Amino acid sequence: MSSDTPSDASFDAGAAVISVTGVDKAYRLYPKPSDRLLQFAGSAFTRLTGRKVAPRFAEFHALSNVSLTVRNGETVGIIGRNGSGKSTLLQIICGTLHPSSGSVAIEGRVAALLELGSGFNPEFTGRENVILNAGVLGLSHQETLARFGSIEAFADIGEFMDRPLKTYSSGMALRLAFAVIAHVDATILVIDEALAVGDGLFTQKCMRFLREFMQHGTVLFVSHDIESVKALCNRVVWLDHGQVLLDGPTGQVCEAYLNSLFGAALNEPAATRLPPGRTPIVEPPYRDQRLDFFNASPLRNDIKLFGFDPVGAGFGSGGATIRDVRLLDQEGRPLTWVVGGEMVELRVAAECHVALKSPIVGFMVKDKTGQALFGDNTWLSPDAARVATVPGQWLQARFVFQLPRLPAGDYSTVVALADGTQGDCVHQHWLHDALPLHSASTSVASGLVGIPMRRIELEALGAEELTAQGNANAA
């Protein structure tokens, strides 16, 4: 493996930074401990006499003839079932394992987040482990001390920084590990499923860092969360039984992988359902007819709201400050818990410190990977009057909508206030995690969100009925 280049080295866009060529990793499996000793004795006998002795072990190939090239600026996902060789490949790329055969060449500084706690000493404090791990990743002692304040703020584990790592939860260990790799000026990040143990807000913070890093660096990302892979990666490698089964565009590879897991029938086009030609439905107020059933069953979509966070991460020119964000019911009462499917109002209040000629207020709900799910802003609405403000004046934006149902997981509501137009504006205040949400259970069958259904029907029709409907519709 080639030595790391300095962290400030510049690489040509598209230049190969990871080259894996014909890598094989084999492990010897002995039926019983005594066979290991007999194998050692047999090997010595072969060296002395030249006569071969039958091996006492079976070989297991975790990787078989794996070749892979990752170019500068790529974000490559690696997927596969448990035991397919994903973690073994990453450990060989990071140098913590040596291949049985083949070669790996790395150009740049690698920062890896593999198994939680790897590279850390459980007896050392968080502070001591930061210095130790940063040194392993290439920072000098002086560089680590200069960045320690920023690392400590990113980890945000408080007094635990001076406690032994063995007293940490898995989430705190993740915070510490990710804070270190975010500050070592790496050109290549390798992440193996570790983000799954983080809480929602910290995962959002990690995803924001990853998306910024992806603008100039290279990422290898292993996860069983296919939606996260789709959201982050522009290319995916599918490993199966230690071999590269498919390497290509994200959508194509992920679809093939899911097809192999759940059966080809899921991806086969369904027979076209001819509509029965009923009278079009007018637009009266309506509700999902399944809500009463959902809300009285374990499928109830419990969504908890954690309240407005006025000091969360954000940015802006400071011409205005978002002072309050809340979700209200139809009677204007603040909500702390919803189930999805209800009519709600998101209300945003902001104080203006300077004159704003054309303020725009918007929101976006994102999942734990930072993927935008739904949102809107006042510029797009003809009912939101173009207003101008003077210093000291307040703005209030109201968004009334039917809340989708959310798959179980952590979510965050981004809220922003800008001045200008949709295509050319200056952000006055942007809050990343203004209103955190947590969906504890869900009735969503598939997809990123569940929409309230006006009608769902299933009928058994004979061929004659289907033909008759088709003819009626054609006419």
Greatest alpha-carbon span in the chain: 96
275 HSE (CA, 13 A, CB side): 8
pLDDT for the residue numbered 20: 94
Residue 345's nearest CA partner among 355, 358, 334 is 334
Query: What burial letters (b/e) apply to 277-302, b meaning 16+ CB within 10 Å?
Result: eeeeeeeeeeebeebeebeeeeebbb
Residue 368's nearest CA partner among 223, 242, 261, 167 is 223
Q: Quick check: helix, strand or coil at residue 172? A: helix
Residue type for position 34:
S
51-92 pLDDT, tens digit per residue, is 777 777 778 889 999 999 999 999 999 999 888 999 899 989
What phi and psi values does residue 284 have, to the nearest 5 degrees?
-75, 170
126-174 pLDDT, tens digit per residue, is 999 999 988 888 888 999 999 999 999 988 888 999 999 889 888 888 8
User: Which parts of 263-349 fold into alpha helices (H)?
Assistant: 291-295
Pairing verdict, β 218-222 and 58-71: unpaired
Residue 322's nearest CA partner among 194, 429, 442 is 429
10 Å Cβ neighbour count for 333? 8
pLDDT for the residue numbered 406: 83
Ordered by where they begin, the domains of the chain are: 16-256 (3.40.50.300), 295-439 (2.70.50.60)
β partners of residue 437: 305, 411
Residue 328's nearest CA partner among 311, 350, 344 is 344
Angle at CA of residue 338, ends 332 and 339, nearest 5°:
135
Pairing verdict, β 409-420 and 425-439: antiparallel
Which helix (H) or strand (E) is 251 found in, with range? helix 250-262
Residue 211's nearest CA partner among 192, 239, 234 is 234
Task: Give dist(CA 244, CA 28) in Å, integer.
Answer: 22
> Considering the entire predicted model, what is its pTM?
0.62
8 Å CB contact between 67 and 22? yes
Per-residue tokens: 347: 């209300």
- Going by C-beta distance under 8 Å and a sequence separation of 6 or more, which residues neighbour residue 266? 258, 259
pLDDT for the residue numbered 2: 39
Residue 413's nearest CA partner among 446, 458, 368, 474 is 368
- Going by C-beta distance under 8 Å and a sequence separation of 6 or more, which residues neighbour residue 303? 337, 338, 339, 340, 403, 406, 437, 438, 439, 440
Q: Where are the beta strands (DSSP E) in 184-273?
A: 188-192, 218-222, 235-240, 243-248
pLDDT for the residue numbered 5: 37
Task: Give dist(CA 119, CA 176) in Å, integer.
Answer: 12
**Cα separation values, 316 from 313, 422, 427, Å:** 11, 16, 5
Task: Give dist(CA 431, CA 322) in Å, integer.
Answer: 8
Average pLDDT, 10 consecutive residues per value, the chain (475 residues):
39 76 88 78 75 77 92 92 90 89 91 72 91 87 92 90 89 87 89 69 81 89 84 90 92 84 46 39 46 54 72 85 89 79 87 91 88 86 75 91 84 90 83 85 70 71 72 64
Task: Give dist(CA 65, CA 25) in Å, integer.
Answer: 9
Per-residue tokens: 420: 């200008």
Handedness of CA 206, 212, 217, 219 (dihedral sign): positive
10 Å Cβ neighbour count for 183? 21
Distance between alpha carbon 314 and the CA centroid of its chain, in Å?
20
pLDDT for the residue numbered 243: 93
**Cα separation values, 453 from 230, 404, 450, Å:** 26, 10, 9
Residue type for position 170:
S
pLDDT for the residue numbered 75: 92
pLDDT for the residue numbered 394: 92
β partners of residue 144: none
8 Å CB contact between 226 and 254? yes
Per-residue tokens: 225: 């969360």
Task: Give dist(CA 110, CA 130) in Å, integer.
Answer: 16
8 Å CB contact between 229 and 250? yes
Sole residue written with tokens 């969503």: 444
Per-residue tokens: 256: 């093939």
